[in-house]
Amino acid sequence: NANSGLPDNTALGLAGDTGNNIWIASPAGGITVFDGSNSWLTFNTVNSNSPTNSFNGIAIADDVKYLSSAASGLVIYRGGTVWENYTASNSAMPQDELLCIAAGDSGCVWLGTFSNGLVKYCDTDTVNSISVQKDGVTIYPNPAASWMLIHCRHHAPLKSIVVYDYSGRKIFSEKTIRFAPFEIAVAGFPDGIYFLEIVFNARVEMMKFVKSEEP
């Protein structure tokens, strides 16, 4: 950073926007924008509403900047002063520790978590949805308003399904020999964060989802 406007000598992610600017994610200096010539602009917790200065990846879709962090979950920058932060405490993100990020299909990004598999975040005009994928198991939509679908890539038989609320109280259970996909009706659940225990013959998966009437 001695011969440029970079705030940090380590860069962990690069992405270009439609204005030919280069966005640089650093683990200690926030997000820096370079116009390719001689203009450098850095966003950090001092001069913006960014929740953290530590990022390890960036993906840009429709000029929206999606940022992964090692301890602060998913950060989204839409321009101006608008910053959003999705973590395990306020969304269906399974954990705050992210390793990487990549742009997917329109309005979606893929996030690699430290120990909870892949997360697909989709941003549309009507809903922000996090599809959690772990060891071949996917739960969607997330947040869920009336139903949730459990899909298993290898079509393993499900032994049982249990839903716990945030306090650990069991609120739903079903023993089944049906094959995935399996649908759970959640319309009667109060809005909040829930944990889904999926039991196969040889393993157990625990995943998190959000019940919300509002998209």
> Per residue in 76-90, pLDDT tens?
998 889 899 999 888
pLDDT surpasses 90 at 179: no
Mean pLDDT, residues 108-129 taken together: 80
Q: What is the pLDDT of residue 60?
A: 93
Return the closest-CA partner of residue 74 out of 63, 88, 85, 62.
85
Q: What is the pLDDT of residue 58?
A: 97
Q: What is the pLDDT of residue 52?
A: 97
pLDDT, tens digit, 9 for 90 and up, residues 53-105:
999 999 998 889 999 999 999 999 988 898 999 998 888 888 999 999 999 87
pLDDT surpasses 90 at 30: yes
CB 211 within 8 A of CB 143: yes
**Rounded to an integer, what distance in angstroms lies between the CA atom of residue 126 and that of residue 170?**
31
Q: What count of residues does the chain have?
A: 215
Q: What is the pLDDT of residue 171?
A: 92
**Rounded to an integer, what distance in angstroms lies between the CA atom of residue 40 and that of residue 84?**
23
**Rounded to an integer, what distance in angstroms lies between the CA atom of residue 210 and that of residue 27?**
29
pLDDT surpasses 90 at 38: no
Contacts of 125 (CB under 8 A, 6+ apart): none
pLDDT, tens digit, 9 for 90 and up, residues 124-145:
644 567 777 777 788 888 888 8
Strand bridging mode 64-68 / 74-79: antiparallel
Q: What is the pLDDT of residue 126?
A: 43
